[in-house]
Amino acid sequence: MLTPFALRAVARLSTRTFLAVRSSAHTAILLNTQTRSFLTTSRRESPAKANEELVQVRKVTKTTTKTAVKKPAIKKAAPKKPKVKKAKDKVTVPRGTTPPKGPGGPFMLFFTDFKNRTKPTVTRDEIVELSKSAAAEWHTLSDAQKEVYTKKSGALKEQHDVELKQWLESLDPQVLKELNKRRVKYGKRKLVLKSTGPKRPAGPFFMFLQDFRKEYFIQHPPVAGSTRITESTKVAAEAWRAMAPEAKEVYVKKSAAEWDNWRKTQELEAKA
């Protein structure tokens, strides 16, 4: 038989062991669950393992219940190679590449003489008044006096044509092409090298017009600045319409013969 004191000691020991076991179980539960600290949070290992097992079980059930259907493989198209544009050689027009300046008409030549005679140095504001006075004097000149400036202008134009031809021949074709692009952009005419071969023959009416003007200008001599050329063309057109077919046939045959000769010369030049 145990004494009351011994019974109390045994009771105390049993409570202590119970509390120790309880505390150890409690700490084990806390270790398995998420614990936090000031710096890091520890991982939950046992629930993660349980989740992995559940995922594996679900995968097994899915594979057993459903039959896997393979989708046809889609062939990916090969990527297209980007097109590489060939860089064109940029043509640069040298500075000062300008054609020779053309001569003025009969009135401009007269205006130059009038300006040198009356007032050589003129400002922009005075040039308008000087032009008006020069035009008034130009209208008072006789046909013979105007003819002097007309012939002078024609001679200068022929000289300019020769200089322009030499300048175009000395120019690089690519530079000329680029220069013509710029001229067209600014509303100017293209610079074209005239062919030295035989000219194209005229048609029947224009051959008749040449013969008609020879007689017409004898009776109505042309004057610089007049509209005699336009008038002669209108009169010739009326005469051509009233002409008999037999008379027209002469010019038609003449034009056809010249066209045949011109085509033959073109073929010979192409073969050469």
SS3 string, the chain, reads CCCHHHHHHHHHHHHHHHHHHHHHHHHHHHHHCCCECCCCECCCHHHHHHHHHHHHHHHHHHHHHCCCCCCCCCCCCCCCCCCCCCCCCCCCCCCCCCCCCCCCCHHHHHHHHHHHHHCCCCCHHHHHHHHHHHHHHHHHCCHHHHHHHHHHHHHHHHHHHHHHHHHHHHCCHHHHHHHHHHHHHCCCCCCCCCCCCCCCCCCHHHHHHHHHHHHHHHHCCCCCCCCHHHHHHHHHHHHHHHCCHHHHHHHHHHHHHHHHHHHHHHHHHHHC
State the average pLDDT over residues 130-134: 87
Task: Match 């300008």 to its residue by tokens.
Answer: 98
Q: Is it the case that residue 21 has pLDDT exceeding 50?
A: no
Entry pTM:
0.43
pLDDT surpassing 90 at residue 250: yes
> What integer pLDDT is reported at residue 245 of this predicted model?
92
Identify the weakest region by mean pLDDT among 64-73, 149-158, 204-213.
Answer: 64-73
Rounded to an integer, the average pLDDT of 227-231 is 77
For residue 44, what pLDDT band results from cuts at 50, 70 and 90?
Answer: low
pLDDT tens string 62-81: 554 445 566 666 767 677 77
pLDDT digits (tens, 9 = 90+) for 181-201: 888 888 888 887 766 667 788
pLDDT, position 214: 84
Q: How many CB atoms lie within 10 A of CB 128?
A: 9
Instruction: Name the band, by pLDDT with cuts 50, 70 and 90, for residue 49.
Output: low
**Of 140 and 103, more confident:** 140
